[in-house]
Amino acid sequence: MAEQGAFTRSMRKKKLPYLAEARDRAWDALTKGQPGAMAVEAALRVMEECPYFNAGYGGYPNVNGIVLLDVGLMSGNRGFVSIVNMRRVKYPSSVALDMMSRRRAIMTVWTHELMQELDTAAPEIKERYGVVEKHEDLVAPFVKELLGKAQAAEVSSLGTVGCVVRDASGRLFAGTSTGGVNLKSNGRIGDSPIIGSGVFADDEVCALSTTGHGESFMRSLFSGFVIAEMRRLLRNDPQVFARGPENCRALLENEFDEMKRKAPGTGGGIIIIPAGGEPTFSFNSEMLSVAFRSSRTAGPGEAMIALADGRALR
Ligand code: ASP
């Protein structure tokens, strides 16, 4: 890993306790036998609430000073939901999870009418989603201060959050939540809410979540190639990932090399649970902070939560 700058180190120190708490919430849900969807939501909510992560309340404002959030959730039986450009909510993952069971559309742009629905919703719904009155209320004081400093250049892309789990029934689930890159153009969509890019789950292949420079991940089709290669290996040998993390790690490193070749100067990270295997991660950014827990015995499945400092170039 490259030598970390003081700024990166201090951010990491702030984030780690919340990362551990997010992992523990997910683990609690799994050990109570709850489905992976609930474990992922529980973990993402902890990080969306914390201003140190670029998601929910800590999301970075766009070029107009408005926090526009993207979120994607996917279950291993191909249930998917993503919402882009969501505004004035602290917990996009909860909105997405509730939408997953109600709507037929799998990708949704957060429209004026959807916002109105929430503004007139029952108080308990508003509380569950963390609806705030004004755009400014979603810009956390910590974020304001951070972005006002000289080091603002260092935070073009820091701290998208993700969580992947395998629950007690063996089902995989993945979620990614982000404010996107700092000062993004109005309406810009990154990789996080894109199926098979920033988020993906298939019980027969893997569950994954990525962080980093979205344009690079999408242009190089990073996750698409990872998924295809994993499926190919699994078809040849269903135990390929059950024997240890080496095969998965090698595959991810190879794909990061490809991304570097196709989109030089950019960085990012991935957390992944391969079919039959243990949680694994890889990154080519300055840092990736990861927390995970797993049990190979009957009962709880595996929980893994990660955030990353992509230090991406725009
Ligand atoms: N991947 C996110 C995006 O491009 C940003 C990040 O992960 O930091 O929107």
**Residue 63 Cα, ligand 1 centroid: separation in angstroms?**
15
Return averaged pLDDT per consecutive 10 residues of the chain, 314 residues in all: 62 86 93 94 96 92 94 97 98 97 90 96 97 95 81 65 93 96 91 97 97 91 98 97 94 94 82 93 86 69 61 41
For residue 93 and ligand 1, the question of a CB distance below 6 A is answered with: no
Atom number, ligand 1, closest to the C-alpha of residue 190: 9
pLDDT score, position 255: 96
3-class SS of residue 82: strand
Ligand 1 atom with the shortest distance to the CA of 180: 9
Q: What is the pLDDT of residue 79?
A: 95
Determine the pLDDT at residue 50: 94
Distance 132 CA to ligand 1 centre (A): 23
Q: Do the strands 107-109 and 80-86 form a parallel or antiparallel pair, or are they unpaired? A: parallel
What pLDDT was estimated at residue 314? 31
Instruction: Give pLDDT, residue 312.
Output: 44
Alpha-carbon span 173 to 171, nearest angstrom: 7
pLDDT at 224: 98
Give residue 308's pLDDT. Answer: 56
Whether ligand 1 lies within 6 angstroms of the CB of 289 is answered as: no
Ordered strands of the 172-178 beta sheet: 107-109, 80-86, 69-75, 172-178, 158-166, 302-309, 287-294
Ligand 1 center from residue 131 Cα (angstroms): 23
| Pair of tokens at residue 282 | 């890889």
pLDDT, tens digit, 9 for 90 and up, residues 58-83: 999 999 999 999 999 999 999 999 99
Residue 108 pLDDT = 96
Cβ of residue 214 lying under 6 Å from some atom of ligand 1: yes
- Strands of the 280-283 sheet, one edge to the other: 199-202, 206-212, 268-274, 280-283
Nearest CA to ligand 1 atom 5: 180
212 within ligand 1 shell (Cβ under 6 A): yes
| Protein residue closest via CA to atom 8 of ligand 1 | 157
Distance (angstroms) between ligand 1 centre and the Cα of 212 equals 5
Measured by CA distance, the residue closest to atom 9 of ligand 1 is 180
Q: Looking at residue 313, what is its pLDDT?
A: 38
Any ligand 1 atom below 6 A from CB of 181: yes
- What is the pLDDT, as a whole number, of residue 263? 81
Q: Which atom of ligand 1 is nearest to the CA of 312?
A: 8
Give the span between the Cα atoms of 162 and 208, in whole angstroms. 9
pTM value > 0.85: yes
Residue nearest to atom 7 of ligand 1 (CA): 211
Q: Distance, CA 159 to ligand 1 centroid (Å)?
A: 8
pLDDT (0 to 100) of residue 293:
87
Q: Is any ligand 1 atom within 6 A of the Cβ of residue 180?
A: yes
Cβ–ligand 1 distance for 192 under 6 Å, the answer yes
User: What is the Å distance from ligand 1's center to 306 Cα?
Assistant: 13
Q: CA geometry: angle at 305 spanning 313 and 79, to 5°? A: 95
